[in-house]
Structure 1
């Protein structure tokens, strides 16, 4: 199944963004006014842009990204003018990215710059965009492209990047891999095959640890989607980077490969961590005993403990169950309120 992000031009000249897994049907519904909301009173509508995605999450991400674009930027996308999109993005990328840009440009550490991501002869603009998205998720911003098949800029990269414009805007293009990594002292060629080249082989975790501890610039090099790096490409690297993978199905797509390396690097970088939620102190034992006793009383009244000779074992099992979660004070009070309501139901 494929999913589409799409843009409509409404009768009043405004634009509407949506996503669907059945584009033709959705267009018919818009035309007929069957979809309540923005487009219903702005007909007729015209489909001016759409793009396929492999998952609904990717289509939703593209929809949300483009929805926040300026009118000029949307019209540049409709026209397929990626140069204009890039120019506009540099003037007005997301507030969060603007605030983060000084940190990301230096990758948070003046002494040890973050690794460069090098894509060798990438074939699809969408994959370049997805790789950019994977990079920015984990704090990497420097992308270098070696002879991209469809040239650069590529209009298909922007929507797939889902907001990672800062990476695409700064992407540099080189004719050869040697040129792209000329300033890098530590070059890792990502491949599942050694391709006849004898070099040290490391995992992404080991490579990330080496990058953080090394002096000089580092680069992770990725090959074309269809065939991967050629032997001559691997020969330029200092080490081969590979992952333990199912030997019966060892194919990773480009963005997956990038995100593995970026994630391992990020684990030792000063990226913001998710907020830790305070679960509260566990309730005192007497409160827990009160809750257990209340439940047992209700169950005895309902005839649950039958036959009587099994009652001690059943109560023990319930006690083990109820003492496992580590209830806090509020949770115990809430559950006792539930038990009270069950024991004394009142009509509402």
Structure 2
């Protein structure tokens, strides 16, 4: 085996990687740009162990680094091997990606089933990897022989060809997705939940009084006799939603705008 780079920890500031994620093994990749795009796809979904088997243009490759779009922690940890046997030598379970039908007696998974199998095996302490073939003709039968099972993507049979970056992205996505609870998003991308605690009653009363003062000069209350009933109805309407502090401040800002003046500091002017 000949290898360059080390599988050490990602450099400072690199995104977190999926714990025990599978190795991504590219067999004789031809273009540095494709290697870089694979690295970027891996980084997008938390994978970091990228292995290359005799890349055509050698390694390191500046075109790969440029195409990786700052996924430097993946690029810097790349390991290069002189043959496939060495690249998968430390793995217990290997999948081969291919779209072509072959007379090889191996189990065939879709990508979702495949990553579930990987996670199950890694839960038992097994190291796993996924093989991707050359840009022009994929993996040979001999190379697929190193795999325990095959992964085939559910694509349009009339246009079934995927490049290695697309294939790696699909598998990386399924890997991350399989580790999330139903409806969960990675923490970095989770939509923040606003505080929905109802505002203190004093703030609600302030809104009611502000609305009354804003309506007074408009003639809304019509006659002094009707004013108490109209105020009571308005207060009932304002009480119902359970406005938060931020919502009350936003509403008071709107009232101030209609009154043609800036909101007081305690009223607020936005949400």
| Match of residue 112, structure 2, among 194, 205, 214 | 205
Go from structure 1 to structure 2 and tell me whether the alpha carbon gap of 1:140 and 1:346 turns closer, same or farther (over 3 Å shift).
closer
- TM normalised by structure 1 equals 0.52
Partner of 1:157: 64
| Match of residue 196, structure 2, among 271, 281, 302 | 281
For residues 1-348 of structure 1, what are the structure 2 equivalents within 5 Å?
95-97=12-14, 108=19, 113-214=20-121, 215-267=125-177, 268=179, 273-274=187-188, 277-281=192-196, 283=198, 328-335=244-251, 337-338=253-254, 341-342=257-258, 344-345=259-260
- TM normalised by structure 2 equals 0.65
Distance 1:237 1:165 in 2: 29
Note the aligned Cα RMSD (angstroms). Answer: 4.1
Structure with the greater alpha carbon radius of gyration: 2
2:98–2:150 Cα contact (<8 Å) kept: yes
How many residue pairs end up in the alignment?
A: 222
Greater fraction helix? 1
**Structure 2: runs of 5 or more not aligned:** 219-236, 263-271
Distance 2:93 2:146 in 1: 10
Distance 2:158 2:244 in 1: 48
Go from structure 1 to structure 2 and tell me whether the alpha carbon gap of 1:242 and 1:330 turns closer, same or farther (over 3 Å shift).
same
Greater fraction strand? 1
Deviations 1:9-31 (A, max 9, x none): xxxxxxxxxxxxxxxxxxxxxxx
Go from structure 1 to structure 2 and tell me whether the alpha carbon gap of 1:227 and 1:331 turns closer, same or farther (over 3 Å shift).
farther
State the Cα distance separating 1:336 from its structure 2 match: 5.1
State the Cα distance separating 1:334 from its structure 2 match: 1.0
State the Cα distance separating 1:345 from its structure 2 match: 4.1
Q: Which has the higher contact order (CA 8 A, sep 6+)?
A: 2
Could you say what secondary structure the match of 2:99 adopts? Answer: coil
Go from structure 1 to structure 2 and tell me whether the alpha carbon gap of 1:170 and 1:94 turns closer, same or farther (over 3 Å shift).
closer
1:141–1:167 Cα contact (<8 Å) kept: yes
**Structure 1: runs of 5 or more not aligned:** 1-85, 302-318
